[in-house]
Structures are given as structure tokens and as C-alpha cells.
Amino acid sequence: MSKICLSNSFPLTVQFGGGAELLFNNTKKHDVILPQKENPWTLRLLIAWLKENLLTEKPELFVQGESVRPGILVLVNDQDWELIGELDYELKENDNVLFISTLHGG
Amino acid sequence: MCSILEEDFMYEKSTISQELCKNIDVLCKKCLDNIAMIKLQKKHHYCKDCFVNIITHKFRATLGKTKLIKPDDKVLIAFTGNQSSITLLHLLKLGVNEQIHKRFKFHPVILFIDESIFWPKEKRMVDLPKIMKALKNSGFKYYITKLSSIYDNYTFQDINDVNDISCLKENESDNKLLSLFHNIQSDTSKTDFLLRLRYQIQFKIARILNYNKIFTAENTTDLSIRVLSNISLGRGLQVSFDVAVCDQKIPDIYLIRPLREITSKEIVFYNVFNKIESLAVPSIFPMMVYNSLQHETELFVYQLQEEFPSTVYSVFHIGEKLKTYAVKENMCHWCHNPILLDTSGVTCLKESMVHIMSKYNWDKPDDKDDEEITNKNFALPSLLQRIPGYENAKQRDIAEWINGEIKKDTHCGNCISNRMTQKLKQSLCYGCQHILDDMKSLDYLPIGILHETVAEFQANELRKEIEDFLL
Ligand SMILES: [Zn+2]
Ligand SMILES: [Zn+2]
């Protein structure tokens, strides 16, 4: 996989809902610019990056291992990530990634 | 038969296509035309339109199955602002705007119970107006009340100006409510008690409005978690009530759960596909409630669901099968579920009441040290006093009876200790007794809840006396 992007930035929209935004500075929509990389950005890498760079509260409420915690749904451009390879999905520029929690806490 | 073959064929085809060429989109298994947008139970793929149709159909089918909704019925819709309740509003709105032959003939009226006192303040300021807007946009008539209305005779309001949330501003009752929950020691009991209070308010307000049907927005996932939590909380025998499509805890009110066949994943996708913004009502006690058994159960269910996609359905159906043969007369005063216990122990009630009253006469609240006041066993006399109408003619029989007993009997005040609490416990089911045990003090228990409990003691006692007399 050679370099696909010629520009030196990788823009992406990341959204949170269902309470997951409480862990991200209580902000639902984040326009993020990922650093340019040799290998393609996958959802696996994005989750790790979010944990390091955007998460403001208790990581254990968002991540579990290298994935999101069970009960948090992931949609890319409104599509269920289960249909597109989950963690292995290769992100495209300007993708809209939505993390939405179905957990109540009670 | 044909459909089974078709299904297997589709499943196989899509798996292959996914493995061989990642970039080719999977098609919807229903219309075989559009790109699939959601995958259910790891095997069913649907496009947006087909999926939304399936959900609408499930909702209508669940309602239809109850055979309870009659034209021109008024139905109270319990709206919390969470994702499921937003879906419920949307489905209802579609239903009343359908073409004439499919249109809902009943009239939904919304009840919003504001629990935002438990939220962080910034969150309230942002999210409450959004909820108001969602209510307004629903086009239905709506009423607003607060969880703390348990202290204010379940008052509610209808508000037309969505920007005016002044009726929801903090008041004295909210502080009592916070103290009440603060007094409950475990998150598990807090969560359980909150659930019971919500139902209580819904029932009360339905009665005041003279409605006999309530819709709640509990989904399959919520209910399967409830099945397991209930079993762990000693509410195993109540499971069938708590998850039923039509729950008749209270004889004059039907509590209907029209979303019970729809999972939380389906709820989220329904909202996303319909571009409905989630309001993100935070958990009741943000960042704190995570120690509850209910939350652990929730995580457990979701974890299992990853490996075994039918977990939620399996647990849910187990819950349905746990039928109870309950005696209607013997209902818990807090959760309105049956108490399956022998209540012959009520006989020592009179004794306890006497003890309570004598204790009250001898030890005025001022004389108590702090520790005694916080001790729930000493809190009851003052609670008795707070019962509205206790001094009035309506309650005079109780007062006279107690006074009479005091004259006859002068037991020592020291041995009252646990006994009144014991009596209170007898009007509660095992699960609610557990909540009571978890309360450091009964001081902030709503008078209404206590009043009914004490009134029931009295009724039982009188009945017993009459029975003894007749024998
Ligand atoms: Zn389709
Ligand atoms: Zn109970």
C-alpha cells in the first residue's frame, strides 16, 4: 500500500453520541486532522489515537483492548462498521465516524 | 421454505463477497437492491429504507398484539429524553400522520419527568432546552413534572413556551430528593429505587389525568438486562411483570411497552437513519453509578452479545417465561409487584405503633443527639407527624387508636428500635426491603409513600381486629 494521500494531513469528522461525548470534553462533533502516516489509517489506529489525543475522561469507559467497549456502536458515514471490516476498515479522507453509546449505567 | 433457501443463499453470498473483495458493498437482504447499512445479529443486512420499515412494522405489531388500544383512547407517553424515548415519539408521530387506513386512532399525550437534578449543571443548561424543543416538535400535547414531585403531590404542568424552563429550576423538593438518594448507600439500590419512583410517578399522574394506559420506551436490551438484574436483586418472581408487553402492576392502569421487540442497536440506527439528534441524557449519577449491579449486568450482557449475538433475545425470552401466579391483594407498596410472603406477622403491628408513639412522647427530637437522629429507627415518629392530615379528622381514627393504646400500655421506649422498620418492611417485597435496608435514614422518604404504607398497616390491623371479634 503506497502513499495514497499526497497532502500532508488527513481530515476526518469524529462524532460522539448517546453519552459518549461526556468523555470527549462534552463535545459531540470534532473535526480532526490526523497526522500523515506510511500505513493507512484504520479504525483500530483511530481508536488508539482518540484515546491518546481527544479523550478527556476515564478511558476505560470508552476503550477495551484495542477496540471500543461493548455497548458502544461505531458507524462510518452512517454505515454499521460490522459491514465494513470493523477495526480493519481503512479510513478515507473526510469520513464521518460516529461513536454512539447505548450504555445507561443502570 | 422458499424464504429459508433465499436467506441461506444471501448469507453465503454476502460472506463470500465480504471476504474476497472488501471494497464491494454488501446488499440489503430484503430488497436485494440497495447497499446494506446495518448488520443485525451478525447475519442480517438491511438498507436504510428496509430497516426503518422493519422497525415501524415491529412497533405496530407489538401494539396490535396487546389488543388494548381503542380508538380515542388517551395514552400517557412516558418520555425521559433518552434514545429509546425519542424513537418512541418519532414512531408515534409517524403513526398519527399515516394514511387514513393505517393511522393511529388513539391520542398520545406526553409526560416528561425531569431528572436533570442529577446531572452536572452545565449539562442541564444545554440539554433541558433541547428536550423542551423535542417535546414541542413532537406536535403532541405534553406535561412536565420533576422527579421531586413525589414531595409535591405529583404536581405537573403543561408548558407552551419551550424557552421557559423556570418551572424546572431547583427548589426545596429537589434538595430533599438529593438527600434521599444520598442516604441510599449503594448505587445498586439507588438505581433500583429510581426505577420504582419513575413508575410511581407515571401511575400517579395517569390516575390524576384519568388515563388508564401508559407507554414506556423500554427496549429489548433494557428489558433483558432487567431480567438478569431482577434475578440478582431478589426480584426473580417479579420478572414477568417488569418485562411484560402489558404490565398490570396496578389494576386500573395498563403499562404498555411497545418497543420491547426492538434492541438498543436498532434504536440507535433508527435515530441515525431518520436524522434524529440524540439528546444524550447522561446516566443518572454521571461517573458514579458505575458501581451498580445493574450496570455490571449491562456490561455482562453486551460482552456476551459480542460473542453470542442472540444473547439479548435469549435472556429476554427467559424473562417472558418466568410467569408468576401472584395474589393480587398482596402487593408491594413501593414497586407494586406481588409480595409472595405470608403476612401473618402483621399482628405485632399494634405493639410497634405503641412503642413508636411512646418513644416520641418521651424523647423529643431536640433531646436526641445527632447519631440518634440519623438512625433510621428513630426517624419514624417524626415521619408519622409529617403525614398530612394526621391531625385531621380523616386520620383521627389512627390518632385515637394510637392514643388509646398508649393509655393502656406503657412499654419501654428502648425496644422500639427495629420494630417499626420491620413493620414497614412487611408492606414491601423482598427487593424493596433491600432498598430500605440500604437507607441510612428514612427522613427524606416522601410522605406520600410513607403515608400509604402506614395507612395500610392501620387497615390490616383493623381488619385483623374485626376478624378476631367475629371469631
Ligand atoms: Zn433494502
Ligand atoms: Zn417492591
**Shared-domain flag, residues B143 and B282:** yes
Angstroms from B230 CA to nearest CA on chain A:
12
Overall domain count for chain A:
1
Output the pLDDT for position A74: 97
Domain-located, residue B23 = no
**DSSP SS3 for B144:** strand
Measure the CA–CA gap between B439 and B375, rounded to whole angstroms. Answer: 10
pLDDT digits (tens, 9 = 90+) for B268-282: 999 999 998 877 665
Chain B residues with CB under 8 Å of A80 CB are: 37-39, 269
Q: B341 CA to middle of ligand 2, Å?
A: 12
Output the pLDDT for position A81: 96
Measure the CA–CA gap between B56 and B72, rounded to whole angstroms. Answer: 21
**Shared-domain flag, residues B263 and B374:** no
Mean pLDDT of B289-309: 83
Q: What does the DSSP 8-state code read for residue B36?
A: P
Chosen from B218, B263, B265, B285 to mutate, greatest number of chain A CBs within 10 A: B265
**Considering only A60-64, B162-166, B355-359, which range has the smallest mean pLDDT?**
B355-359
Report the CATH number that the domain containing residue B65 is assigned in CATH: 3.40.50.620
Please check whether residue B269 is in contact with residue B276, taking contact to mean a CB–CB distance below 8 angstroms: no
Overall domain count for chain B:
2
**Shared-domain flag, residues B84 and B190:** yes
Domain-located, residue B41 = no
The amino acid occupying position B84 is S
Output the pLDDT for position B234: 85
Residue A30: which domain range?
2-101
**Shared-domain flag, residues B309 and B378:** no
**pLDDT level of residue B223 (50, 70, 90 thresholds):** very high
**Shared-domain flag, residues B229 and B183:** yes
Please check whether residue B52 is in contact with residue B190, taking contact to mean a CB–CB distance below 8 angstroms: no
**Considering only B7-21, B60-74, B300-314, B349-363, which range has the smallest mean pLDDT?**
B349-363
Grid cell for residue B380: 419514624
Taking 80 as the threshold, does the pLDDT of residue B210 lie above it? yes
Report the CATH number that the domain containing residue A27 is assigned in CATH: 3.10.20.30
Percentage of residues of chain B with pLDDT beyond 90: 28
Q: Tell me whether residues A105 and B292 touch, CB distance under 8 A.
A: yes
pLDDT digits (tens, 9 = 90+) for B422-463: 667 778 888 998 898 898 877 787 766 665 665 565 566 666
The amino acid occupying position B222 is D
Measure the CA–CA gap between B203 and B285, rounded to whole angstroms. Answer: 24
Please check whether residue A12 is in contact with residue A97, taking contact to mean a CB–CB distance below 8 angstroms: yes
What are the residues whose beta carbons fall under 8 Å from the beta carbon of A11, sequence distance 6 or more? A31, A32, A33, A34, A93, A94
**DSSP SS3 for B123:** helix
Better pLDDT: B427 or A62: A62
Taking 70 as the threshold, does the pLDDT of residue A60 lie above it? yes
Domain-located, residue B19 = no
Cell 425496644 locates to B415
Taking 50 as the threshold, does the pLDDT of residue B393 lie above it? no
Q: Which ligand lies nearest the alpha carbon of B30?
A: 1
Measure the CA–CA gap between B27 and B294, rounded to whole angstroms. Answer: 38
Q: Which of B287, B320, B353 is the last residue of a domain?
A: B320
**Is the four-CA dihedral B365, B362, B423, B206 of positive or negative sign?**
negative
Please check whether residue A12 is in contact with residue A93, taking contact to mean a CB–CB distance below 8 angstroms: yes
B106: phi then psi, degrees, rounded to nearest 5 = -90, 170
pLDDT digits (tens, 9 = 90+) for B72-104: 999 999 998 888 999 999 999 999 998 888 899
Domain-located, residue A106 = no
Q: B102 CA to middle of ligand 2, Å?
A: 40
What are the residues whose beta carbons fall under 8 Å from the beta carbon of B355, sequence distance 6 or more? B411, B413, B415, B416, B419, B420
Average pLDDT, rounded, for chain B: 75
**Shared-domain flag, residues B385 and B244:** no
Please check whether residue B65 is in contact with residue B76, taking contact to mean a CB–CB distance below 8 angstroms: no
**Shared-domain flag, residues B212 and B100:** yes
**Is the four-CA dihedral B230, B312, B262, B287 of positive or negative sign?**
positive
Mean pLDDT of B133-155: 88
Instruction: State the DSSP H helix or E strand holding residue B99, giving kind and residue range, or none if neither.
Output: none
Please check whether residue B165 is in contact with residue B128, taking contact to mean a CB–CB distance below 8 angstroms: yes
Domain-located, residue A67 = yes
Instruction: State the virtual CA torsion across B236, B240, B241, B246 in degrees, nearest 10.
Output: 170
**pLDDT level of residue B13 (50, 70, 90 thresholds):** very low
B317-322 long-range contacts, CB within 8 A, separation 24+: B318/B227, B319/B223, B319/B224, B319/B226, B319/B227, B319/B239, B319/B240, B319/B242, B319/B243, B320/B240, B320/B243, B320/B244, B321/B240, B322/B227, B322/B236, B322/B237, B322/B239, B322/B240
What are the residues whose beta carbons fall under 8 Å from the beta carbon of B382, sequence distance 6 or more? B360, B365, B443
Residue B399: which domain range?
345-426+441-469
**pLDDT level of residue B398 (50, 70, 90 thresholds):** very low
**Shared-domain flag, residues B357 and B311:** no
**Shared-domain flag, residues B57 and B192:** yes
Better pLDDT: A5 or B297: B297
**pLDDT level of residue B329 (50, 70, 90 thresholds):** low
Angstroms from B124 CA to nearest CA on chain A:
12
**Shared-domain flag, residues B375 and B309:** no
Better pLDDT: A12 or B159: A12
Q: Tell me whether residues B283 and A105 touch, CB distance under 8 A.
A: yes
pLDDT digits (tens, 9 = 90+) for A30-46: 999 998 888 899 999 99
Listed residue (B177, B117, B189) closest to B444, CA to CA: B177
Chain A residues with CB under 8 Å of B191 CB are: 106
Listed residue (B468, B471, B423) closest to B450, CA to CA: B423
**Shared-domain flag, residues B378 and B447:** yes
Mean pLDDT of B303-311: 86
Chain B residues with CB under 8 Å of A69 CB are: 299, 302
Please check whether residue B76 is in contact with residue B205, taking contact to mean a CB–CB distance below 8 angstroms: yes
Measure the CA–CA gap between B311 and A15, rounded to whole angstroms. Answer: 28
Q: B434 CA to middle of ligand 2, Å?
A: 9
Q: Which of B22, B268, B282 sits opposite A85 (nearest CB)?
A: B22
Output the pLDDT for position B79: 93
Please check whether residue B127 is in contact with residue B100, taking contact to mean a CB–CB distance below 8 angstroms: no
Output the pLDDT for position A93: 92
**Shared-domain flag, residues B413 and B455:** yes
ipTM of the complex: 0.92
Chain A residues with CB under 8 Å of B25 CB are: 83
How many residues appear in chain B? 471
| pTM reported for the whole predicted model | 0.79
